[in-house]
Every structure is written in structure tokens, then in C-alpha cells.
């Protein structure tokens, strides 16, 4: 499996965040509708998904380019603040006083060496600090903002709002002009090509991704892709995940994560069935850290496991419980 970075430019607001498992689901629908993209059917691609995934997609992360320099803003690892900021904060009392300030540093800025040198306090930044360090221009002072869009239900028989006027708000994320995002994809190049994934992602961006795509949300452009290497430092014993994951039955020495429940829903032709919903799946949110036992680091480029049997409408449905990860060396005992 090789890892590629796909550069995405948002063209509209997003009603659904660009998260790995949802992106994977929409990728599967593209291969379902157009099997010529992959050179085989979706059923063939998923035939051994439980042990050999053909692709693993990450969340989308802010990408900043300056000449030949590239930086990424990843979600801060879900580890204790006392570990991440151990060089900045000297004692428990100071940690309590500075807790709110430190929690606001929710991003981790990394260059192309990723975590080869481990953590440093200076790599953790706030929304405002990311914006100031970039060449972006926006009145909000942030690279993205949550925007509330008023909506109202329409009676399709009369073409009016009916007897009552009851507007409601739906949220969307809107990016500052010029923002680029990076989606990482682990691809089994013996089965599909990076070009196939590029074409499929481009089609998703043209037709719209996620909620309210029919109203114009979820549009993006895919500028291209390149191969990347997260590296594996000497003595690496921990994994920093880039998407939601299901740890599976691996015996990790330590695990740090925030749980998230994914309420999956069918797309395509199954969206209009009597039961378009999948069973809820509890997963570890992106930014989880899995610490391996001695010699127990994964040999693959991904961690986690497939989620199978999530639908009574279509037993073939799967959820991506895999996640790409950046390996690093835990520098101190937890």
C-alpha cells in the first residue's frame, strides 16, 4: 500500500465535514456507478475488505504551501495536556491556571518530516495562530467559520410553506478564500490506481459531497496528487491516527482517544428505501494515539478494522474502521 496526498480546494460551504469514513463511502458509490474507474466491480473490491482494504482515506486537513515548503494542520493528539505541554507548564497548579489557554491550541502544525522528531510545544497552535502564519485573507481572522443558514420546509403540493412559517437553521462550514485541504489515501496500487481515486474524488466534488449537496453545498476541486511518506523513526512505538478508527482486537499498551458515534446513512439508490440508516458505530475520533507493546507496531500503513454487518437493508454494506497513521516515538513514560 502506498500513501498519496490529494489536494482539495473547497468551492462552497460543507454541510458534512470531510471525514475519512464518509469520504470512503462516497468513493465506493463512485466505483459502484462506474466500475470502469477501478477496472472491477465494487463487490470485487470489497470481497476481502475485512483483511485487505483496497483504500483507506483520511480526514481533510488544512494545507499551507509557501514555495517548496509544505505544512499541515492536524488535530491535536488526544493525550493529556500535561504530556503535550510538559516543557511549557512546570507544575499542576500552573496547568490548572493555563488549562483554557492550552485547550484552545487544538491544532498541530507539522512539516513534511511529520513526527520524526516527536512532539514540541511550539507545534500546537490556535485557529487564529494558523491564520496569522498563512497568507490567507478573511474578515473573520480564521481559516474557516461555522455558518448558520436559515431554511424552511416547503409543501411540495402547494409550493408554499403551508399554514405555518417555521424556519430552522442548518450549519455549514465555510472556508476562507484560497484555503487548500489535504486528504491522504492509502491505496493498494496492485488493485486500483491513484488516478482512479483522483477521478472518483473529482466526480464527488462536482456533484456535491455530504448533506445538502442538492442545494449547492459540498463542492470542491481536486488539484492533483503526490506520493508522501510519513516515515518511521527509529524506536517508533506509537500511532497518531488521521481518521476515525475502530481499534479492533489489537492489544495496545496504551490508548488515548475521544469516542465518537457515527450514525451512518446509505447513499445512492438505497437512500430512498424504507430504512436508509445504518447501525450506529462507536469509534475513536481522529487524533487518537495508540501505543504499541514492544515490537508490536503495525506492519501496514493503517490501523483499525473493518466494520461489517451495519445494515439490514444491504448486508454487503461496510464502514471504514481503518485509519492511516503517522508513526512516532513516545519520548516519555505516560
Please name which of 165, 184, 172 lies closest in space to residue 56, comparing C-alpha atoms.
184
pTM: 0.91
The helix/strand/coil state of 93 is: helix
Over 60: is that where the pLDDT of 334 sits? Answer: no
- Give the integer Cα–Cα distance in Å for 213 and 231: 37
- pLDDT confidence band for 333 (50 / 70 / 90): very low
188's CB contacts (< 8 A; 6+ apart) are: 1, 52, 53, 54, 55
| Higher local confidence (pLDDT), 141 or 255 | 255
In sequence order, the β-bridge partners of residue 149 are: 170
Kindly state the DSSP code that residue 126 receives in the 8-state scheme: -
The predicted structure's pLDDT at residue 157: 78
Q: Where are the domains of the chain?
A: 2-328
Least confident among 9-13, 90-94, 234-238, 321-325: 90-94
SS3 per-residue string spanning 173-208: EEECCCCEEEEEEEECCCCCCHHHHHHHHHHHHHHC
Residue indicated by cell numbers 462516497: 26
Amino acid at each position: 500500500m502506498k500513501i498519496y496526498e490529494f489536494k482539495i480546494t473547497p468551492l462552497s460551504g460543507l454541510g458534512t465535514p470531510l471525514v475519512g469514513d464518509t469520504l470512503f463511502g462516497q468513493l465506493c458509490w463512485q466505483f459502484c456507478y462506474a466500475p470502469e474507474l477501478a477496472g472491477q466491480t465494487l463487490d470485487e473490491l470489497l470481497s476481502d475488505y475485512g483483511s485487505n482494504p483496497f483504500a483507506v482515506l483520511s480526514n481533510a486537513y488544512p494545507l499551507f504551501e509557501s514555495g517548496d515548503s509544505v505544512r499541515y494542520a492536524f488535530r491535536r493528539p488526544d493525550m493529556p495536556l500535561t504530556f503535550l505541554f510538559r516543557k511549557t507548564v512546570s507544575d499542576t497548579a500552573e496547568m490548572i491556571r493555563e488549562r483554557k489557554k492550552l485547550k484552545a491550541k487544538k491544532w498541530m502544525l507539522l512539516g513534511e518530516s511529520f513526527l520524526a522528531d516527536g512532539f514540541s510545544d511550539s507545534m500546537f497552535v490556535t485557529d487564529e495562530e494558523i491564520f496569522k502564519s498563512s497568507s490567507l485573507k478573511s474578515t473573520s481572522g480564521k481559516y474557516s467559520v461555522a455558518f448558520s443558514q436559515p431554511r424552511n420546509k416547503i409543501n411540495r403540493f402547494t409550493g408554499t410553506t403551508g399554514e405555518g412559517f417555521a424556519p430552522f437553521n442548518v450549519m455549514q462550514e465555510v472556508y476562507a478564500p484560497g484555503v487548500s485541504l489535504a486528504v491522504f489515501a492509502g491505496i493498494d496500487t496492485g488493485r486500483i490506481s491513484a488516478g482512479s481515486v483522483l477521478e472518483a474524488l473529482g466526480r464527488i466534488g462536482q456533484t456535491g459531497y455530504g448533506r445538502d449537496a442538492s442545494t449547492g453545498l459540498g463542492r470542491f476541486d481536486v488539484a492533483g496528487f503526490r506520493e508522501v511518506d510519513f516515515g518511521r523513526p527509529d524506536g517508533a512505538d506509537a500511532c497518531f491516527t488521521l481518521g476515525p478508527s475502530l481499534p479492533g482486537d489489537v492489544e495496545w499498551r496504551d490508548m488515548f482517544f475521544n469516542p465518537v458515534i457515527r450514525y451512518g446513512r446509505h447513499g445512492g439508490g438505497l437512500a430512498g428505501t424504507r430504512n436508509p440508516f445504518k447501525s450506529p458505530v462507536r469509534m475513536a475520533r481522529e487524533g487518537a494515539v495508540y501505543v504499541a507493546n514492544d515490537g508490536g507496531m503495525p506492519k501496514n500503513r493503517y490501523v483499525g478494522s473493518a466494520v461489517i454487518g451495519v445494515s439490514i437493508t444491504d448486508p454487503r454494506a461496510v464502514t471504514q474502521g481503518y485509519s492511516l497513521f503517522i508513526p512516532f516515538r513516545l519520548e516519555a513514560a505516560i
